[in-house]
Structure 1
Amino acid sequence: MSIRRAGRRTMVAAVLAACLIGSVSPALAEPAPAPNVVTAKAVAPGGSYVEKVEALDARNVRLHIHSAAMNKTLLVDVLRPADTSVPRPSLYLLNGAGGGVDSASWQRMTDALQFLGDKNVNVVQIIGGAWTFYTDWKSTDPVLGVNKWKTYISEELPPLVDAVLGTNKVNAIAGLSMSGVSVLNLAIAKPGLYRSAAVYSGLAQTSDPIGQNMVKVTVETWGGGDAENMWGPADDPLWKANDPIVNAEQLRGTDLFVSTGTGIPGVYDEPGGKFRLEKPSDTPQTVAIGAVIEAGVNWSTHNLDNRLRELGIPATFVYRDSGTHSWGYWQDDLKASWPVLEKGLNSQP
């Protein structure tokens, strides 16, 4: 049964301003004996392979994965379970718009990895993909390059992770901000690959004018790329093909958690707060941008909620009474989502 905790709904004003910021970066530590890695010699269908396995400490490894689809080597950081005596499931943790290579990261901004550290799950942290929406792009972009992230995450990476780490091949996926739509689309693209999925302040629709403009602001204004290279012009069928609300039927069977604030500033929006990245003097302007973004996210989340209700697909929706687009809320939301993620991770392989 779905749980929907109602909060105040906000007017969607100026939704076309800025979009979806946030990311995940690796947790670096002093070198130590290698964790229980099964093998570094793994090749996926299509020719992708593990180039190198690097031990960061007794529980953290860095995988160097050569993607055949993008013809480049990408980094993946993995927090191994405390107990590797039996095969364990994997939680794929996606970045926001920064792609995990900037200062805004789960590791630096939250206690997410500490929270997940006792859950006996492989936490697979994908690095790279800034401003790409983790999707397969139609064309090479002069600024953002070749992007085949859906192929990488859904086809190339999982068999390599399973082979190297000796997992039980049960997966969940979670992401914030820009990667919210990516989480939904990855679950839609390959039903069953991810048994559960969590979205924190993520856009849930892409093919209507408002959703398209939110995507374009992220790709073009923030990332310097061209959204036509991603999904073509506004009338290209790829926009609908990558719209979770249009394709919501394919989410049936996935344990879903979706959360959003209202855009009204809350407890984590005070200048100088623990989760603030900007200088205190810049906080009012940053919070104002985050409020607009979260108002748009709130609007699209309600639309997804309504669509899933129409289809009779159960999901857990959490509507916070306040909060803009920032890290403190995502830390809380990840913890709140764990029972949903855990349900999928504990399902039979």
Structure 2
Amino acid sequence: MIRRTLLVLLAALAGVLLPPATAGADPGPARILDVRPLGGRQLEVVVHSAAMDRPITLWVSNAGAGTPVLYLLNAVDGGEDGGPWTRRTDVAEFYADKPITVVVPMGGRASYYTDWQADDPVLGRNRWSTFLGDELPPLLQQRFGTADRMAVAGVSMSATSALNLAIEHPGRFRAVGAFSGCPRTSDPAARAMVYAQLGVFGANATNMWGGPADPAWPAHDPTLNADRLRGTALYVSAGNGLPGRHDSLAEPDRAVVGGIMESVIGPCTGSFLARLAELGIPAATDLRAGTHAWPYWQDDLRNSWPVIAAAVGA
């Protein structure tokens, strides 16, 4: 993922756009297709999304009936390129004794986990906000007896997604964790980064939120819409790009590429936190030395837990 991140930074200057696609046929009903035990509390759950008209695979740590739900969203590769929570952190062990059901969608690369305006020639149909906010919660409640108390956390690309999900679904998510993300999308520099991240995977952000003047861009900017997060428990983290506790010269990709990426994300996160402060909206924060790397996000799992647990009553 680090090498892809370097390509993101280089591609940000190009702004190459692909032609939009058109929508397809009407889908069938949302439903759980399969549940496969993986050992202990872990399950592989396959859900048919009506909004996207395709199966979505979930990794689930099932804590039992009556427990709240935490979505953990993957980074820009959607967990499809060797970088999911389940491989790069100890998520299974950490939550094994926690009274919360954890759900990790294994997909959604370069999608921002949002509803796209048009199907993309490479990614196909993306209606992730509808799937995660509307379709999936009742299915989890019906099959596993989970409570309607929910939280969502994301890392890198999906840190913005997690904030937007809470904004788009008022009252659905009581807590949000945003780990090393840029909670801005509507200014020219932020838009260029969004186009670049999607472009690395051959996808076109114009299919997501339209052209540069489309109102969908500011509508999906957490900094502009920060007032809609009032009442939501927030945990926000970012590094400054300098070597931190998990960095060493033995890992040049992390020290150089991860450092560059986090040096951009740090100020972006800072502007978001400044807006929260202006509005009088509290947030727990971890602003640290460090790069754009999974060991820091594993730390965020632990550091965000008290905030999430209190908000969802876990």
Q: In structure 2, what is the equivalent of residue 78 of structure 1?
A: 60
Matches of 2:264 and 2:11, distance apart in 1: 10
Matches of 1:289 and 1:120, distance apart in 2: 37
- List runs of 5+ in structure 2 lacking aligned partners: 1-7, 13-27
Q: In structure 1, what is the equivalent of residue 264 of structure 2?
A: 296
Matches of 2:287 and 2:254, distance apart in 1: 22
Q: CA deviation at 1:297?
A: 1.1
Q: In structure 1, what is the equivalent of residue 303 of structure 2?
A: 336
Q: In structure 2, what is the equivalent of residue 265 of structure 1?
A: 243
TM-score between the two structures when normalised by the length of structure 1: 0.80
Pick one of 199, 210, 227 that aligns with 1:249. Answer: 227
Q: CA deviation at 1:136?
A: 0.8
Q: CA deviation at 1:58?
A: 3.6
Q: In structure 2, what is the equivalent of residue 26 of structure 1?
A: none
Q: In structure 1, what is the equivalent of residue 111 of structure 2?
A: 132
Matches of 1:107 and 1:114, distance apart in 2: 10
Q: CA deviation at 1:113?
A: 2.1
Matches of 1:231 and 1:80, distance apart in 2: 34
98-107 or 141-150: which moved more? Answer: 98-107
TM-score between the two structures when normalised by the length of structure 2: 0.89
Matches of 1:102 and 1:343, distance apart in 2: 33
Matches of 1:249 and 1:267, distance apart in 2: 34
Q: Counterpart amino acid of 2:89?
A: T
Q: Which runs of 4+ in 1 moved over 6 A?
A: none
- Residue 17 and residue 291 in structure 1: after superposition, are their counterparts in 2 closer, same or farther (change >3 A)? farther
Matches of 1:199 and 1:286, distance apart in 2: 20
Q: In structure 1, what is the equivalent of residue 163 of structure 2?
A: 184
2:293 is aligned with 1:315: no
Whether the 8 Å CA contact 2:254–2:293 is kept in 1: the answer is: no
2:121 is aligned with 1:145: no
Q: Counterpart amino acid of 1:110?
A: T
Pick one of 46, 62, 73 that aligns with 1:64. Answer: 46
Report 1:1-349 matches (<5 A). 16-17=9-10, 47-81=29-63, 84=64, 86-220=65-199, 222-272=200-250, 283-320=251-288, 322-346=289-313
Whether the 8 Å CA contact 2:78–2:84 is kept in 1: the answer is: no
SS for the counterpart of 2:235 is strand
- Residue 17 and residue 302 in structure 1: after superposition, are their counterparts in 2 closer, same or farther (change >3 A)? farther
Whether the 8 Å CA contact 1:290–1:326 is kept in 2: the answer is: yes
- Residue 212 and residue 163 in structure 1: after superposition, are their counterparts in 2 closer, same or farther (change >3 A)? same
Whether the 8 Å CA contact 1:263–1:295 is kept in 2: the answer is: yes
- List runs of 5+ in structure 1 lacking aligned partners: 1-14, 20-45, 273-282
SS for the counterpart of 2:136 is helix
Matches of 2:236 and 2:300, distance apart in 1: 9
SS for the counterpart of 1:195 is strand
Q: Counterpart amino acid of 2:278?
A: E
Whether the 8 Å CA contact 2:249–2:255 is kept in 1: the answer is: no
Q: Deviation string for 1:149-200 (max 9, x for gaps)?
A: 1111111111111111101211111111110000000000012111111111
SS for the counterpart of 2:39 is coil
Whether the 8 Å CA contact 1:266–1:324 is kept in 2: the answer is: yes
SS for the counterpart of 2:126 is coil
SS for the counterpart of 1:150 is helix
Q: CA deviation at 1:346?
A: 0.4
Whether the 8 Å CA contact 2:42–2:92 is kept in 1: the answer is: no
Q: Counterpart amino acid of 1:243?
A: D
Q: Counterpart amino acid of 2:299?
A: D
For CA contacts below 8 A with separation 6 or more, give which structure has more relative contact order.
Answer: 1
Q: CA deviation at 1:291?
A: 1.4
Matches of 1:113 and 1:197, distance apart in 2: 20
Q: CA deviation at 1:107?
A: 2.0
Q: In structure 2, what is the equivalent of residue 9 of structure 1?
A: none
Whether the 8 Å CA contact 1:17–1:214 is kept in 2: the answer is: no
Pick the structure with more helix per residue: 2
Q: Deviation string for 1:186-221 (max 9, x for gaps)?
A: 00001211111111101100000111111111101x
Q: Counterpart amino acid of 1:248?
A: A
Whether the 8 Å CA contact 1:18–1:293 is kept in 2: the answer is: no
Q: In structure 2, what is the equivalent of residue 38 of structure 1?
A: none
Whether the 8 Å CA contact 1:139–1:230 is kept in 2: the answer is: yes
